[in-house]
Chain A
Amino acid sequence: MTAPFIGRLATGCTPLGLALMLALGSAVACAQPIGLVKVKHGDVQIERQGVRSAASVGTPVDAADRILTGRDGSVGVSFADSSMLSAGPNSVLVLSQFSYDPTTREGSFEVALRRGTLSAISGRLVAQTPGAMKVRTPTAVLAVRGTEFVVHVDAPAD
C-alpha cells in the first residue's frame, strides 16, 4: 500500500467495493455514466450503436451516443466534470469522446453539433486545462477556454 494512491481512491458503488479497495490498496473503477439527462421537453432520442430510444430525465448518456431532438424537443445533460450541454429543437449532437479523472481533473471532452442549437457550460476539465473541451461543427472546431457559449448550425436534415 503506497500512501500517494490512497487519497485517489474513489468509491461509487458498494461497501464491498470499498472494502475490496482498502484490502487491495488499489483503485477499483466503478462504472459511472459520463452524464445524465436532467431536462427533457418534447421528443428526445438517444442513439447508441445504431439503436434509438426515447430519453427521459435520469437517462444515462455514454461516449459515442448521439442525442437527437424533434421539432418540439429540447434536452439538458450534465456530465461527470460538472459541464453541461443543452440542445434546442431539430438538433443532432454527437458525444464523440469523454474522459475525466476526478482526482487530477484531467481528460478531454469532444462533441459534434451536426445541426441545431447547442448551449454549453464548461466544467472542471476546462477549468483545469483550457481547451480540454472541443465542439466540432460541419465547418469549424471550437476550443473552449471557458465558460458559457452557444453554437447554431443551420444545416438541412439528413
Chain B
Amino acid sequence: MKFVAALGALSLLAGCASTREWYVVMPSQDGHAGSVVVTRDGADTVLEGAYSATASDVRGAYTADPKQVEQAFGAALQATPPRPVTYTLFFAANLDELTAESRATFESIAREIAQRPAPQLTIIGHADATLSHEYNDMLSLRRAQRIRGEMIRFGVAPERIVAQGRGKRELLVPTPDNQAEPRNRRVEVEVR
C-alpha cells in the first residue's frame, strides 16, 4: 500500500494531476452491446453497454449522463465519417452480366457514391459451387473487376477501389459442391 501511495505522490509531482481522462462506451448502431477494457496501473475496468464509463478519478464503471457526453464529445461525434453501406449485386450463370434487378441496385450505388466525401469502394466477387476452385476464383475476380470498371467509368478514382475474388469459398447460401445457386453468384460492394 505504501508503494502505491508513493507512486501516487510521484505522479502528482510529475504533473499528472492536471491530466484528467474520461472513457465512455456509446450506443452502437449495429445493435451489438459495446465493450471496452480500460487498463490503468495494471488494473482492468471493463466497460460494457451504452454509456458505461470510467474516468481518472473513478474506480470501476459507472453510467454516464448522455447529455454530458453529448456536450463534451459533440464536435468529435459530428465529425464521424458517413457509415459504410454494403450492396449485393447478382449475376447470370457463368457470365459477368448483372441480373435485371441488380441493374437497379447499381443505380443506388451510383447515387450513394455521389453523396459521399472521398468515396472508397471494396468490391468482392463470388461464384456458386459449380466447377473447380480455379475456374470460380477467376470468374469471381472477373465479376469484381467488371463492377470496378463500371465504377471507374462512373467517376470513382481507381486508387480508391479494391476488387477481390473469393471464388466459391464464401457462399451466401450454403450448398453441396457443384450445385448451382443464383444467390451465390454475386458481388458485394461496400461504399465508405
Contact = CB atoms under 8 A, between A and B. Distances in A.
A151 B64 CA distance: 13
Contacts of A40: 79
Contacts of A32: 159, 162
A149 B121 CA distance: 25
B24 A150 contact: yes
Given A13-B158, A74-B76, A89-B75, A38 B19 contact: no
A44 to B, nearest CB: 9
A39 B117 contact: yes
B84 A82 contact: yes
A10 B163 contact: yes
B76 A117 contact: yes
Given A3-B137, A58-B117, A149-B24, A12 B162 contact: yes
Give chain B's interface secondary structure class.
Answer: mixed
A5 to B, nearest CB: 9
Interface string B74-91: 111111111110000000
A84 B192 CA distance: 10
Given A38-B82, A149-B47, A137 B158 contact: no
Contact of B141 (A9, A84, A103): A9
Interface string A127-158: 00011000001111111111111111111100
B163 A119 contact: no
Contact of B133 (A3, A77, A147, A150): A3
Contact of B169 (A1, A7, A12, A102): A7
Contact of A86 (B36, B80, B159, B162): B80
B164 A78 contact: no
A68 interface: no
Contacts of A39: 79-81, 117
B137 A6 contact: yes
The list of the 9 closest CB pairs from A to B, nearest first, reads A38-B81, A88-B75, A88-B76, A6-B137, A86-B79, A58-B118, A145-B35, A148-B26, A74-B79
Interface of A: 1, 3-4, 6-15, 18, 22, 30, 32, 36-41, 57-58, 74-78, 82, 84, 86-89, 91, 102-103, 117-119, 121, 130-131, 137-156
14 contacts: A1-B134, A9-B164, A9-B165, A30-B162, A36-B118, A74-B79, A76-B79, A102-B164, A117-B75, A138-B16, A140-B21, A146-B28, A148-B25, A152-B21
Given A118-B76, A146-B35, 15 more contacts: A6-B137, A6-B141, A9-B164, A11-B148, A12-B159, A58-B117, A86-B80, A119-B76, A121-B80, A138-B16, A147-B28, A147-B30, A149-B36, A152-B73, A153-B19
